[in-house]
């Protein structure tokens, strides 16, 4: 029996590790690529620790412009979809029972309709409407307007669900009492319903903003001449990328973690205030003995110290070393080639067009180059420097580091 429980626990642990590895592993890897100096986002040929991609990110006008558009769209979508969602949920509580399920089906449908369909239908519909108005309704074809409308169509459904959940705990007797005591409907709404709904409104607004910020499927049809951040990212991902995208992801993840931890700290604090939780003894008062606070402080400290060292830190030296290692590695290869040719008794050794010379493998250099190969230094002394510029980069991601002949050949050329 006991071994059974033990087995169950191990299985659960393994399962949790796999699940969270699947969920978080890709983000972790992407985060690491932001600090690798390789021009293509990758970690396996680790070159140099660098902050340069953050600099590249902040100088990219398209990204900055995309962020600006995303914020405009996000704010518009939040306003529109929160108010629609609130109205729709209030109507849902009052609608005639006979119509209720039809009504619910219609307002839940936008969640289930594929995003591309929503984008297309919005585009087609407003194009028609602006045709009806003739030339003086150009704003109806404006990318920002269309994107806000298209996104709100389904984000309002999300908001509506949040409000419905909260409304289930609302006591309509409160509003009735207020009305009986002479409050107007607007007063009752503002003084009673709205304060009760405030937490739900806050979470619906956050949800709406996030959903709008990351939306791609709908926006890709409606953005017109106002590409949002997601659109810019998708174009970067498809047509040539560098790790500045990863740098952006790192920033988003850090902000997310920061927000999540702050929310947790806030929750704990209000619980302690209301007496539900007791603060642990022996800790400073601001820490109120919970893990989230400590993590939050640690995170802030890490970010600040990283930003600070980024001012002074320069990977130039490491990069020079890396280049040197690559150069030596190439040289070793050239010599290997040359030795092979010599052995075959050929007078000419056209290194540039050699059959083993692959082109354009810039990013695929070995992680450690040939730095540690003993033949390297010897080979270097035996050769003139002129060969280096035309040398082909190494073929496989690991260069020829692991092929034994490499060393023999390069040291063999020394004798020539």
Within 102-121, which residues bind another protein (CB under 8 A)? 104-118, 120-121
Assigned token pair, 330: 């190439």
Instruction: Tell me how far, at minimum, the Cβ of 404 lies from another protein, in Å.
Output: 15
* CB neighbour class for 184 (10 Å; exposed up to 12, middle 13-18, buried from 19): exposed
- Distance of CA 239 to CAs 178, 218, 337, 355, Å? 61, 21, 36, 31
Unique residue bearing structure tokens 């992801």: 249
The smaller minimum CB distance to another protein, of residues 19 and 139, is found at 19
Least distance in Å: CB of 247 to another protein? 11
Q: Which of residues 68-107 bind another protein (CB under 8 A)?
A: 83-84, 87-88, 90-91, 94, 96, 101, 104-107
Question: What is the C-alpha separation between 185 and 187, in angstroms, rounded?
Answer: 5
Site for another protein in 355-374 (CB under 8 A): 363-364
Which of 14, 17, 177, 260 is the binder for another protein (CB under 8 A)? Answer: 260
| Binding-site member from 130, 395, 398, 414 for another protein (CB under 8 A) | 398
Burial class of 18 by CB neighbour count within 10 A (0 to 12, 13 to 18, 19+) = exposed
User: How many whole angstroms separate alpha carbon 42 and alpha carbon 114?
Assistant: 33
Interface with another protein includes 241 (CB under 8 A)? yes
- Is residue 222 within 8 Å of 150, Cβ to Cβ? yes
Site map for another protein, 31-70, x if CB under 8 A?
Answer: --x------xxxxxx-------------------------
3-state secondary structure of 36: strand
The reply to whether 157 sits near another protein by the rule CB under 8 A is yes
Binding-site size for another protein (CB under 8 A) equals 92
User: In the complex with another protein, which residue's Cβ is closer, 17 or 377?
Assistant: 17
| Gap between the Cα atoms of 47 and 38, Å rounded | 6
CA atoms of 148 and 271, how far apart (whole Å):
38
Q: By CB under 8 A, tell whether 302 contacts another protein.
A: no
Please give the residues from 335 up to 354 whose contact with another protein meets the rule CB under 8 A. none
User: In the bound complex, what is the minimum distance in angstroms from residue 85's beta carbon to another protein?
Assistant: 9
Q: How many CB atoms lie within 10 A of CB 126?
A: 20
Q: Is 400 in the site for another protein (CB under 8 A)?
A: no
Q: Is 30 in the site for another protein (CB under 8 A)?
A: yes
Q: Binding pattern to another protein, positions 276-295, x when CB under 8 A?
A: --------------xx----
**Beta-bridge partner residues of 49:** 36
Alpha carbon distance 311, 207 (integer Å): 35
Alpha carbon distance 283, 170 (integer Å): 39
**Closest distance of CB 51 from another protein, Å:** 19
Is the four-CA dihedral 58, 59, 65, 68 of positive or negative sign? positive
Q: How far is the CB of 66 from another protein (least distance, A)?
A: 11
Measured from the CB atom, the residue of 22 and 286 that comes closer to another protein is 22
Residue 351: CB minimum distance to another protein, A? 25
Span near another protein by CB under 8 A; candidates 53-61, 197-205, 248-256, 375-383: 248-256
**Among 19-27, 57-65, 320-328, 341-349, which window interacts with another protein (CB under 8 A)?**
19-27
Q: 176: part of which helix (H) or strand (E)?
A: helix 172-180
Scan residues 204-233 and list those touching another protein (CB under 8 A).
210, 213-217, 220-221, 229-230, 233
Tell me if 165 sits within 8 A of 175, measured CB to CB: no
Residues facing residue 36 across a β-bridge: 49
What is the closest distance, in whole angstroms, from the C-beta atom of residue 338 to another protein in the complex? Answer: 26
Among 132, 135, 181, 238, the residue binding another protein under the rule CB under 8 A is 238
Q: Which is nearer to another protein, 271 or 414 (CB)?
A: 271
DSSP class of 367 = S
The C-alpha atoms of residue 192 and residue 265 are separated, in whole angstroms, by 28
Tell which positions 177-196 bind another protein, by CB under 8 A.
184-186, 189
């Amino acid at each position: 029996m006991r071994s059974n429980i033990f087995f169950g626990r191990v299985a659960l642990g393994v399962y949790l590790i796999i699940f969270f590895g699947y969920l978080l592993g890709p983000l972790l890897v992407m985060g690491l690529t932001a600090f690798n100096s390789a021009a293509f986002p990758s970690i396996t040929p680790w070159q140099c620790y660098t902050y340069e991609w953050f600099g590249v990110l902040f100088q990219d006008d398209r990204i900055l412009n995309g962020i600006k558009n995303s914020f405009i769209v996000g704010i518009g979508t939040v306003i529109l979809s929160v108010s629609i969602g609130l109205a729709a949920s209030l109507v849902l509580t009052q609608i005639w029972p006979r119509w209720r399920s039809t009504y619910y089906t219609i307002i839940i449908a936008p969640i289930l309709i594929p995003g591309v369909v929503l984008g297309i239908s919005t585009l087609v519909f407003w194009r028609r409407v602006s045709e009806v108005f003739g030339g003086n309704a150009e704003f109806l074809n404006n990318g920002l307007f269309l994107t806000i409308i298209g996104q709100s169509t389904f984000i309002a459904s999300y908001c509506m669900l949040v409000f419905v959940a909260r409304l289930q705990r609302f006591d309509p007797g409160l509003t009735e009492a207020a009305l009986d005591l002479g409050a107007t409907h607007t007063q009752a709404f503002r003084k009673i319903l709205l304060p009760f709904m405030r937490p739900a409104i806050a979470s619906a607004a956050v949800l709406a903003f996030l959903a709008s910020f990351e939306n791609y499927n709908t926006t890709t049809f409606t953005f017109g001449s106002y590409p949002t951040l997601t659109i810019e990212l998708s174009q970067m991902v498809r047509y040539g990328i560098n790790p500045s995208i990863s740098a952006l992801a790192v920033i988003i993840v850090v902000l997310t973690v920061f927000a999540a931890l702050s929310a947790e700290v806030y929750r704990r604090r209000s619980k302690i205030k209301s007496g539900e939780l007791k603060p642990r003894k022996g800790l400073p008062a601001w820490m109120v003995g919970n893990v989230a606070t400590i993590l939050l402080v640690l995170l802030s400290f890490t970010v600040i110290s990283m930003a600070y060292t980024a001012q002074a830190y320069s990977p130039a030296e490491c990069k020079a070393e890396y280049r040197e290692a690559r150069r030596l590695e190439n040289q070793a290869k050239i010599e290997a080639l040359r030795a092979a040719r010599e052995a075959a008794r050929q007078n000419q050794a056209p290194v540039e067009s050699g059959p083993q010379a692959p082109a354009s493998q810039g990013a695929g250099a070995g992680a450690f180059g040939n730095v540690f190969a003993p033949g390297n230094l010897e080979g270097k002394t035996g050769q003139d420097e002129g060969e280096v510029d035309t040398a082909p980069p190494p073929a496989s991601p690991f260069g020829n580091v692991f092929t034994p002949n490499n060393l023999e050949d390069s040291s063999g050329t020394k004798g020539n």
